[in-house]
Structure 1
Amino acid sequence: MLNDFEFGNADILFTDVDDTLTTAGQLLPETYLAICRLAAAGIRVIPVTGGCAGWCDQIIRTWPVTAVIGEGGAFYAERTAPMTVRWHYWDNESSHREDQARILAAVASLKLDFEPKLAGDQAFRTVDVAVDYNQQESLNVQQVAQIHDALKAQGFNVRESSIHINIWQGDFDKSTMAMRVGRDLLGLNPQALRQRSVFIGDAPNDECMFGNFPLSIGVANIRKHLPVMTHQPVAIASQPSGLGFAEMADAWLQQRTASGLSQADTRRA
């Protein structure tokens, strides 16, 4: 339950997408309404997803969000005008593409007694590689571990979301790109960003965010992952996935109303 969670003066929300905003792969009406209500109250909403660049393009163009971080921290996109999107890569797109080609070759050359399948959205990724283990494919824990360990041994970064095994090359993750967004887009130093931000997520690949942001929340479906997580959320919603997100939004907005912040907070970062 989130009744006792203190949101304080936070006015920025970083949120995971798969199984945090989505419920069984769908964005429920009450979840999207919760995003809209938060944005209308002056809270800057920034999705942080392992999802592909193609998905992020749709999100930044159509949702009431300030920015979107995609492919596990490889880039962020901002809307600079109603129909204009600007992309900011961790390094540069060409070097990321070269790394991606090496990862694809490494995945293709794995010697396993089963065939790993790339995620259905791989064609729309610009930086990382995603192997499907729990979306259209179904791999068991041992098979996921085999892929993880084999690619980790080759020097790649490997992390599991609730649906994909994400593989990338570089010193970025969700948290490091969130800090860059805070600095470059919001004009906040790391301490100020941590004080003014809430993070909500659901899976082990959110650990870097749970570890970096003191105001952290998990939706209820995170409970199954807690035994393998070093960094855990401070509080957990009673509802799973998108309903847990809506529960968090209700609690936050009620606190803002009680503290006199029910109207849009127009402070600039």
Structure 2
Amino acid sequence: MDNFDFGGADILFTDVDDTLTTGGQLLPETYLALCQLASAGIRIIPVTGGCAGWCDQIIRTWPVTAVIGEGGAFYAHRTAPQTIQWHYWDNQASHRADQAKILMAVASLELDFEPKLASDQAFRYVDVAVDYNQQESLSPEQVESVHDQLVAQGFNVRQSSIHLNIWLGDFDKSTMAIRVGRELFDLDMEALQQRSVFIGDAPNDDSMFRNFPLSIGVANIRKHLSVMVHQPVAITSKRSGLGFAEMAATWLGQRESSARAKVRPD
């Protein structure tokens, strides 16, 4: 982080589970960092594999501009203080039909164990999440078995720090982030890349690390690096939410130093 240059970036895309949260909790230090970034004029967009229900409370209660959920299936933003607008990658009806196909496929897997759906599955609009590291515990071999059988059937499967997220469609976290940049900020991809920072922690953040050069991993990403094609250019010294707070402090410190330099007399 010491050599990371935030430049003139003023947009933050951030993963949620194990990037903002620590052991499933949002620490005071992390929430304060979010508030400080927002107060400094940085527009924050969480990008999560989390469910629509989770995203609804995020956009209503956190100091964020928008939220991308279920791995890029939709984004939500406020059009008025208590009014939320949802934007789907395709349309809700087709996504619901695809979700039903995935649920049937998961139920029909030929395994010597029973994969469990995430406890928040009822609050998902588009994807299906299999729990391997939240309330359930699957071995790496079991996770691989679920992954490989579903990929062989033509489904997209990505591994977060807690779930296997399964969906149909040509979207992911990055494609929806680019759409948000275009639709909410009127920025093409190149301009969005120059003005955005991304921070994450897991293999399902791979597309964001690929398309956003100003990318950071919290320290707990190190255990995943060997299986990731695209990796962050900097890694915090602290894990999870404390790593996020470390990133925020560094970014705000650079902005303060830059502001002082601009007003310093010759």
Cα drift, residue 111 of structure 1: 1.1
Structure 2, unaligned runs of 5 or more: 262-266
AA partner of residue 182 (structure 2) = R
AA partner of residue 14 (structure 1) = F
What is the distance in 2 between the residues matched to 1:81 and 1:119? 32
Residues 94-109 of structure 1 aligned to structure 2 (within 5 Å): 94-109=93-108
Structure 1, unaligned runs of 5 or more: 263-269
Task: Give the match's secondary structure for 1:185.
Answer: helix
CA distances 1:75-102 after superposition (whole Å, capped 9, x unpaired): 0000111100000000000000000000
AA partner of residue 229 (structure 1) = M
Moved over 2 A (4+): none
TM-score, normalised by the number of residues in structure 1 = 0.96
TM-score, normalised by the number of residues in structure 2 = 0.97
CA distances 1:112-148 after superposition (whole Å, capped 9, x unpaired): 0000000000000000000000000000000000000
What is the distance in 2 between the residues matched to 1:128 and 1:220? 28
User: Which residue in the other structure is 1:242 paired with?
Assistant: 241
User: Which residue in the other structure is 2:125 paired with?
Assistant: 126
Residues 1-269 of structure 1 aligned to structure 2 (within 5 Å): 2-260=1-259
What is the distance in 1 between the residues matched to 2:221 and 2:91? 33
Task: Give the match's secondary structure for 2:180.
Answer: helix
What is the distance in 2 between the residues matched to 1:124 and 1:223? 31
Number of aligned pairs? 261
Percent of residue pairs identical:
78
RMSD: 0.9
Cα drift, residue 219 of structure 1: 0.1
What is the distance in 1 between the residues matched to 2:190 and 2:23? 35
Task: Give the match's secondary structure for 2:100.
Answer: helix
What is the distance in 2 between the residues matched to 1:261 and 1:97? 52
Task: Give the match's secondary structure for 1:19.
Answer: coil
AA partner of residue 10 (structure 2) = D
Cα drift, residue 261 of structure 1: 8.0
